[in-house]
Structure 1
């Protein structure tokens, strides 16, 4: 070690020989200490106060190796020490671990903890779990101890997913009735309920209870207050258009290829399927399906003409607002077994195969102008890859390359710069994987269930028996949960009509009663965001 660059840091009577330049590059705390205008810049040995030697040793190992062994017993001490010393990468590594530990039972505590230490990624992840699991959350002890300000943030969110607005009203009543001193907050909180979307049966119960005249309990008294002094948001309900909170639905496109392809929509609120207008194309397979806004878009595929199968350049667009299909402008290149994803008002198609072989070509469709444009090609040409998107980043996961071999890389496209890179390699590479992103975590299902933290770059195996050694035709993230569809088995050429719900925040993995209404092609499912409108 360069003696000019070396310094000794004393922590709890233990001496650590470290490189000043290395620590300064990792931390503004050490940058100022070593190179700022303070006396420490002239010292050869510095005592650090308020730091545990075990934590400091682990953090120094991380600075040198880029990894550390975290568990529930040491992660908060290490995060707080990294925060104190402004070791940013180490802190982010700890945050990534805590994100994996978020459950419904601790998400509110995680929100509070993350605000204390300025961990916005952790806060947003915990907040997402809270707003997608309110029905379960209100029965947790953490909910009763919640402060008013945090509850207001939850209840006013458009992202709050509930089967009905009745649950939001119930949450307000439950929280207020924990302590009589909270009754003064009732009007502010009930104003965040959207009365236009309360069910008629629930309103009927509330009205009848408010009409009691004897033995008034707190609940009845609050209802009577609401009846005589409703908040402004309730009084003006009929004067303005109201929208429900956002919710996601699941669309599946499938059926036997010799028939027209069926389209069905799954409504998680009611656990029911609704039949949509079919795609009136026969003898079509190996197409890609994605959603952009309120559109389901089918691109390419393998089509049987009068005598032979061949790749096609078709673009078929389903508009959920009017339940009809239209033809879009054909792609620049016919392809099948490719990937398709939407970003903003653009549709991207990537890789796949032509009649000549596997390609790396990428093109995008501007849905406002309805024009195609060539984009930077994949780093590795692949077909039968999985794909997922986060904000303006697209991820193409594994696949089969031009040599017929399984490719293990995860290729990422930054759509703002049109630049590809390979960010990681899967520890369990396969083609025909299913993939989805939930709350900043990339999940891949096929043989093993794995998750990849897009912030920390760390792979983890999911220990769920219902996912282990299983293969599915498709998976989607819907309202804070993952749905897996069409389990495949070795030696079986068609999919088995199974429908599985995996909720990592409740540690639930179970078969859904509402079975798939049609056979599903590989990755023939998408998620779409909706609002309801009143009146």
Structure 2
């Protein structure tokens, strides 16, 4: 405590000595320079009021008129650039009717074009996104996608992924797909999974980022999706090629072989797998999934004694140990 007090006193005395030796004029000059510098910084930070934009055209949507500046809208949207300065008849008109958009969403986008503010909520975001996509307001489109990214959930990520793909919203599609890959076990149980097109199921199964510990789930998901519609049986072997046999567990293979002679509705598919063994499974090891932490089954492993005799004459038995 004494040493600390001593340091404080010495500092105070040193400061006092400096103060006595510093000319008053120097201190005032320094203070004046600091005040001038502060004023300069404040002037730099001040945002000048934008110059008023003079409307030179009228847009009509569902009977309501919007007075706009053509150059301003053309700068924000290729749609309006082509409308106002293209070769169409609208380029020579000062009053143009916009069809194919809703009044409420158009009004929000016109406000955004003037103020850069976009009022989004769960009720209007999809409508505004589609309208912004139609009118090619790219910044508004990106803001809508960002909003939807924050709303992603297990219950909507599959639908959002398809929706984003349809609109070409790459970042939203990637975000939704990542949720699906990360929570695949829960997603497979969702009813929407059964409605996915074959191409989407294939892309998910082929991903190295599919977050599953064993490919048992990948194979089970394939059986689940194919058995939902008999017309999908023609895609079964193609999808099975994407399952990584090194990551199949012995217990799951045992269960598959048992199902072949059971009343399980998927027994037909399992028999088909046994009879038409995927060529890729016999070639060699496939790349492990990034998130797979352990491989419970390895091709060529010493586990013959653990395989049951059901279906012992088929490729499923011969190649899966």
Taking structure 1 as the reference length, the TM-score comes to 0.44
Structure 2 counterpart of 1:45, from 95, 100, 103: 95
CA offsets 1:173-212 (integer angstroms, 9 cap, x no match): 11111122222211111111001110111112212322x2
Rate the CA distance shift 1:165–1:100 in 2: closer, same or farther, 3 A: same
Consecutive unaligned residues in structure 1, runs of 5 or more: 249-266, 271-534
**Counterpart for residue 149 of structure 2:** 99
For residue 9 of structure 1, give the secondary structure of its aligned residue in structure 2: strand
**Counterpart for residue 62 of structure 1:** 112
Q: How does 1:105-504 map to 2 (within 5 A)?
A: 105-210=155-260, 212=261, 216-236=263-283, 240-247=284-291
**Counterpart for residue 29 of structure 1:** 79
**Counterpart for residue 124 of structure 2:** 74
Taking structure 2 as the reference length, the TM-score comes to 0.72
For residue 102 of structure 1, give the secondary structure of its aligned residue in structure 2: coil
CA offsets 1:25-82 (integer angstroms, 9 cap, x no match): 1100101111112221221111111122211110011122222221221111101110
In structure 1, how many angstroms separate the alpha carbons of the residues matched to 2:145 and 2:89? 33
In structure 2, how many angstroms separate the alpha carbons of the residues matched to 1:67 and 1:188? 49
Rg (Cα) greater in structure: 2
> How far apart are 1:232 and its partner, in Å?
1.0
Higher helix share: 2
In structure 1, how many angstroms separate the alpha carbons of the residues matched to 2:289 and 2:141? 34
Consecutive unaligned residues in structure 2, runs of 5 or more: 1-51, 296-320
Rate the CA distance shift 1:137–1:76 in 2: closer, same or farther, 3 A: same
> How far apart are 1:2 and its partner, in Å?
5.8
Rate the CA distance shift 1:2–1:73 in 2: closer, same or farther, 3 A: closer
> How far apart are 1:123 and its partner, in Å?
0.8
CA offsets 1:402-432 (integer angstroms, 9 cap, x no match): xxxxxxxxxxxxxxxxxxxxxxxxxxxxxxx
8 Å Cα contact 2:132/2:141 also seen in 1: yes
In structure 2, how many angstroms separate the alpha carbons of the residues matched to 1:182 and 1:232? 20
Higher strand share: 1
CA offsets 1:275-324 (integer angstroms, 9 cap, x no match): xxxxxxxxxxxxxxxxxxxxxxxxxxxxxxxxxxxxxxxxxxxxxxxxxx
**Counterpart for residue 484 of structure 1:** none
> How far apart are 1:216 and its partner, in Å?
4.2
